[in-house]
Amino acid sequence: MRKNRITFSIRTLLPCQPILACAIVLLLTFVAYGGSVNGRCFLEDRPCHYGIKVEIVDALFHGAKYTDCSGYYGPFIAVAPGEHTFRFSRLGYETVTLDYKVPIIGPVTLPDITLPSKGFGDPPLWEQYPYYVPGSDFEICEDDGIHPPTATYPIEWWYGNFCLTDEDGKEYGAFASFFKSPFVTPPHLLLFSISDLENEVEYSVPEYPLTLDASEHHLDLETAFLDQWYNKKCGSGNLIPFEHHLYVTGVDVDELGIVTLDLDMKSLKPPMPVSGDGHVQIGDGFSYYYSYTHFEVEGEIHVPGDLLSKDVHGYGWFDHQWGDFPVPMSDDIGWEWFSIQLDNNREIMVGDTWVDGVLDESYSGGLNLYNADCSLEVLQDYTITPLRFWTDAGSGQTFAVEWRIEVEEPTRKIALNVKAVFEDQVMELTPGPIFNGCFWEGLCEVNGTIGGKAGGGGIVTVRGTANAELTHSWSFILDVGDLVAGGSGVFDVTGGNANTTTYLACSIDGHGETSVPSLNLTLGLNAPFQIGAAKQTDGQGDASWTLNVPPAAAGMNVWFQSAQFENVSNVVISTID
Per-residue pLDDT of the chain (577 residues; tens, 9 = 90+): 333 433 333 344 444 455 554 545 444 444 444 578 999 999 987 888 999 999 999 887 788 999 998 999 999 998 989 999 999 999 999 999 999 999 988 789 999 999 998 988 666 678 889 999 999 999 999 999 999 998 899 999 999 999 999 999 999 999 999 998 877 777 888 999 999 999 999 999 988 778 899 999 999 999 988 899 999 998 888 999 999 999 999 999 787 899 999 999 999 999 999 999 999 988 788 999 999 999 999 999 999 999 999 999 999 999 999 999 887 655 578 899 999 999 999 999 999 998 888 888 899 999 999 999 999 999 999 999 999 999 999 889 999 999 999 998 888 999 999 999 999 999 988 766 666 678 999 999 999 999 976 445 688 999 999 999 999 999 999 999 999 999 999 999 999 999 999 999 999 999 999 999 999 999 999 999 999 999 999 999 999 999 999 999 999 999 999 999 999 999 999 999 9
User: In the prediction, which pLDDT does 431 show?
Assistant: 67
- Separation between Cα atoms, residue 19 and residue 512, nearest integer Å: 94
Specify the pLDDT at position 123: 61
pLDDT of amino acid 47: 83
Predicted TM-score (pTM) of this structure: 0.88
Per-residue pLDDT, 438: 87
Pairing verdict, β 37-43 and 113-115: parallel
In the chain the domains, ranked by start, together with CATH numbers, are 17-115 (2.60.40.4130), 123-470 (2.40.370.10), 477-575 (2.60.40)
CA angle 237–296–97, rounded 5-degree value: 85
Give the model's pLDDT for residue 457.
62
The per-residue pLDDT for 440 is 96
C-alpha–C-alpha distance, residues 383 and 406, integer Å: 5
Predicted local distance difference test score (pLDDT) of residue 224: 86
pLDDT number for residue 434? 63
Consecutive H or E run containing 191: strand 188-196
The CA dihedral of 4, 9, 14, 15, to the nearest 10 degrees, is -30
Comparing C-alpha atoms, which of 359, 329, 362 is closest to residue 348?
Answer: 362
CA-nearest of 255, 198, 259, 203 to 421 is: 198
Sign, CA torsion 557/563/566/572: negative
Give the 3-state secondary structure percentages of the chain, helix then strand then coil, rounded to 5.
5, 55, 40
